[in-house]
Structures are given as C-alpha cells and as structure tokens.
A = this chain, B = another copy of it.
Amino acid sequence: MSRLVMKFGGTSVADIERIRNVARHVKRETDAGHEVAVVVSAMSGKTNELVGWCREAGALHDAREYDAVVASGEQVTAGLLAIVLQDMGVTARSWQGWQLPILTSNAHAAARIEDINGTELIKRFKERKEVAVIAGFQGIHKETGRITTLGRGGSDTSAVAVAAAIQADRCDIYTDVDGVYTTDPRVVPKAKRLDKVAFEEMLELASLGAKVLQVRSVELGMVHKVRIFVRSSFDKPEDIDPKSNHPPGTLICDEEDIVEQQVVTGIAFSKDEAQISIRRVQDKPGIAASIFGPLAAANVNVDMIVQNVSGDGATTDLTFTVPASDYQRSMDVIGKAKAEIGYEKVDGAQDVAKVSVIGIGMRSHAGVAAEAFRALASRNINIRAITTSEIKFSVLIDAEYTELAVRTLHALYGLDK
C-alpha cells in the first residue's frame, strides 16, 4: 500500500465525461489499496473566464477580490469529482483551501503555501478509506481569513505541498503529455521521453520552456523530497511501459535515485528572446545596478547577462536578453538612463534564440560545452553569447538556426538513440 497524491489539470477535467475519466484513474489506485488525495485545477477555460470578468470589472482590481472570484473554479471541480467518485462507489469528499486549511502568505494572486496540516486527511484515510479531493491553486491567509491563490499553474504546487504534508510516497501529475522529453518532439521527432530527471535538471528544463510543471512545484519537491511522476491523463490504466515496468511517464526525483546518470539530459530552447548590447560602458562598481535597476523597475524580466572582462581597463560591453515582447520598452528604459549609466551606444537584435543544454553529469564531465561549440561551428551557426552554470550552458544564436542547433546538439549528446 502506498499513499499517493494525484493531480489533474484543466484539460483533464474540462467536462463531466473527462472528470469521469479522472475518477477511473483514482478508483484504480484505491482498488489497489492505496490512500489517495486528489488535487484538481479548474475546468479548462473557466479560470480565463473568471480572470476576464475581474479585468472587465476594474482595471486595477483588488487582488483579494480577484482571488475570491478566481478560486471558485477549483471549488467547482473538486465538488464535481467528489460526486462522480461517490457515484462509482468510492468514498470521497471535497476540500477547499480554507477548509483543510492550506495556509499561505498574504501575497494575493501569487501567494506561497506556508503550512498544510495533513493529520485530518491521514485520519480519514485510515478510518473511512476516504479519498480527499482538494481544490488546487488556492489557500487562505491565516490572519485575514481571506482566500488566496497561488498564481497560474499553482495547482502543481498545491499537489506537491499536499504530498509533503501527508508524507505521500509519490505525487502523480496527470497532464496532457506523457512525460518530460529530451527536447520538443515537434522539433526533433527522435526526442525521447526521460524515465527519470533530477529536480535540479527539471528546474532548468521547466524554466526554459518544457512547460510541463510549474517551477515552484519542482522547488518544493526538491526541498521536501517529494517524488513527482509526470504522466498522461489520457493513458489507459492498463498501459505499462515494458522498459520501466511502470506506466509511461517521467519521474522527477533526487539525483541519488538516478542510477544511470547521463551527461546531458535535455536540450531546451526559447525563441521569444531579444538581445540588447550596451557598448563601451564604463567598467566601474555599480554599473550593473544602474542598468538592471531601471529594467526591474519597468518589470522587464532580464534573462542571460554576459559581461566581458574589460579589454582597455576602462570600458566594457554588456549583453543581456529580454523577452521579445519587452524589447522596445527595454530599449526606451536604457535610452532614458543613458546619462546615469554612461555608455557609448546601444544595439540589439530581435530575431535571436536561446538554446540550452542541461545535465547534472556536466558537473563531473569536462569539455561538454566545447563539444557543442565545435558542432555548432561545423554547421556554420554563429554564437552571439554564451552563459554557463554548473548543470547547464546556454548559447544565444540567430533564431533561424534554432531547429538546426537543437537537432545538432540532440544528436551530439546521444539523445537520439
């Protein structure tokens, strides 16, 4: 017997027929004797509808009221799933964030979970064999007693937090893909589903666009050692992957649980990038702050930052990337701050892409990046900028070469096999 959290996203609960499908997944686990807590999102489209109304109601709306409105979506799904489960003969009850309670910070619309007491749920597992159906994405602030939401994708985080609270053996995230891939299969048809990914790798993959799991949920899993299994809600229950003897999916787990460590785990890329280079900036303390301070104040999310060691000892070039949609705004901000920053000129490029190679194995393998630079050069792909970290490196290239670069690197590191 295991204790499981099962999380289902909006497309998996889009209508009653799909909710019935979700209930079949749950019943399969309870029939197998497992103790189950289910975390659900709002029916797909519902959150957008609710958010749309809030915006229509007031441009600068009170986030506390926004949360009260938007949290209703998950409340509906939780109740409906409990009804369907009962209809199938499974004992179940719904829990809203304030009922459990899921205590959060006071940062409405972007709250962080602070505490969940799992005692009552565990007691009900034991005494009543009752499935807990929990509304994801929401909580309550202890002092104000008002409903909070965790921000978009927050149900993943709810699920992992519940799993930590009830000491679950695993947190199954049912989604519309069947796991995490070595890269986007639309670009590289030979992309393979990863059986296991380390938390650290998943953090890099997710923030770079693998978009399977909310970053915060992976962080939470890493801290609380919650094994997260990403799998498809459209699988037939009887589907078993002959290789792993599990249903198809990807386990996100501790580095130590991955026996056969690959050097490179995956290739991520992002096309919606723009590059801005500030030329001949004075190379003196505080200069980075004078550039990135105004950008942060303008809510621009700066990604790669490359600063070379000054050649002449007095000035240097500084390159960074921003989301393509923020390009013009960023240029304006830098232009306005010219006197303060002190630079010769600014140039930029909009048709650029970032390609990243991720793998925990890089830590102990030298020359991984060098191989990539060589392979890209052999394809005549010019590298505009490079950043590296312990378990990943990224290159900025012209966008038109994105697919070629991804395919080249995917093959280079043996991910095609």
Give A contacts to B, CB under 8 Å: 16, 19, 50, 53-54, 56-62, 64-66, 68-69, 72-73, 75-76, 78-80, 82-84, 86-87, 93-94, 96, 98-99, 145-147
Instruction: Please name all residues of chain B whose beta carbon is closer than 8 Å to the beta carbon of A146 when the two chains form the complex.
Output: 99
Instruction: Please name all residues of chain B whose beta carbon is closer than 8 Å to the beta carbon of A147 when the two chains form the complex.
Output: 96
Please pick, from B16, B58, B73, B98, the residue contacting A83 in the complex, using a CB distance under 8 A. B58
Instruction: Please name all residues of chain B whose beta carbon is closer than 8 Å to the beta carbon of A50 when the two chains form the complex.
Output: 76
B57 near A83: Cβ-Cβ < 8 Å? yes
B69 near A79: Cβ-Cβ < 8 Å? yes
Instruction: Please name all residues of chain B whose beta carbon is closer than 8 Å to the beta carbon of A56 when the two chains form the complex.
Output: 16
Instruction: Please name all residues of chain B whose beta carbon is closer than 8 Å to the beta carbon of A59 when the two chains form the complex.
Output: 87
Closest beta carbon of chain B to A173's beta carbon, Å: 23
Q: List 25 A-B contacts (CB under 8 A).
A: A16-B56, A16-B57, A19-B57, A54-B80, A57-B83, A57-B84, A58-B84, A58-B86, A60-B87, A61-B83, A61-B86, A62-B82, A64-B93, A65-B80, A65-B93, A66-B79, A68-B75, A68-B82, A69-B76, A69-B83, A72-B73, A96-B147, A98-B98, A99-B145, A99-B146
A57, A59, A78 — which one has the most chain B CB atoms within 10 A of its CB?
A: A57
B76 near A72: Cβ-Cβ < 8 Å? yes
As for how many copies of this chain the complex holds, the number is 2
Please pick, from B57, B64, B73, B82, the residue contacting A80 in the complex, using a CB distance under 8 A. B57
Please pick, from B57, B69, B72, B76, the residue contacting A53 in the complex, using a CB distance under 8 A. B76
Closest beta carbon of chain B to A31's beta carbon, Å: 19
Instruction: Please name all residues of chain B whose beta carbon is closer than 8 Å to the beta carbon of A61 when the two chains form the complex.
Output: 83, 86-87
Please pick, from B58, B60, B75, B83, the residue contacting A66 in the complex, using a CB distance under 8 A. B83
Closest beta carbon of chain B to A328's beta carbon, Å: 29
CA distance A191 to B15 in the complex (A): 47
Closest beta carbon of chain B to A146's beta carbon, Å: 8
- Shortest 9 CB-CB contacts between residues of A and residues of B: A58-B87, A69-B79, A72-B72, A57-B83, A68-B79, A16-B56, A61-B83, A65-B79, A58-B83
Instruction: Please name all residues of chain B whose beta carbon is closer than 8 Å to the beta carbon of A76 when the two chains form the complex.
Output: 50, 53, 69, 72
Instruction: Please name all residues of chain B whose beta carbon is closer than 8 Å to the beta carbon of A93 when the two chains form the complex.
Output: 62, 64-65
Closest beta carbon of chain B to A59's beta carbon, Å: 8
Instruction: Please name all residues of chain B whose beta carbon is closer than 8 Å to the beta carbon of A72 when the two chains form the complex.
Output: 72-73, 75-76
CA distance A66 to B93 in the complex (A): 11
Instruction: Please name all residues of chain B whose beta carbon is closer than 8 Å to the beta carbon of A73 when the two chains form the complex.
Output: 72
B53 near A65: Cβ-Cβ < 8 Å? no
Instruction: Please name all residues of chain B whose beta carbon is closer than 8 Å to the beta carbon of A94 when the two chains form the complex.
Output: 65, 68
Closest beta carbon of chain B to A154's beta carbon, Å: 18
Instruction: Please name all residues of chain B whose beta carbon is closer than 8 Å to the beta carbon of A69 when the two chains form the complex.
Output: 75-76, 79-80, 83
B68 near A53: Cβ-Cβ < 8 Å? no
Instruction: Please name all residues of chain B whose beta carbon is closer than 8 Å to the beta carbon of A145 when the two chains form the complex.
Output: 99
Shortest Cβ distance from A52 into B: residue: B16
Closest beta carbon of chain B to A412's beta carbon, Å: 51
CA distance A69 to B13 in the complex (A): 14
CA distance A94 to B57 in the complex (A): 14
Instruction: Please name all residues of chain B whose beta carbon is closer than 8 Å to the beta carbon of A66 when the two chains form the complex.
Output: 79, 83
Closest beta carbon of chain B to A48's beta carbon, Å: 14
CA distance A109 to B73 in the complex (A): 20
CA distance A312 to B93 in the complex (A): 61
CA distance A56 to B79 in the complex (A): 12
Shortest Cβ distance from A96 into B: residue: B68
Instruction: Please name all residues of chain B whose beta carbon is closer than 8 Å to the beta carbon of A65 when the two chains form the complex.
Output: 79-80, 82-83, 86, 93-94
Instruction: Please name all residues of chain B whose beta carbon is closer than 8 Å to the beta carbon of A57 when the two chains form the complex.
Output: 16, 19, 80, 83-84, 87
Shortest Cβ distance from A54 into B: residue: B83
CA distance A94 to B72 in the complex (A): 14
CA distance A66 to B147 in the complex (A): 20
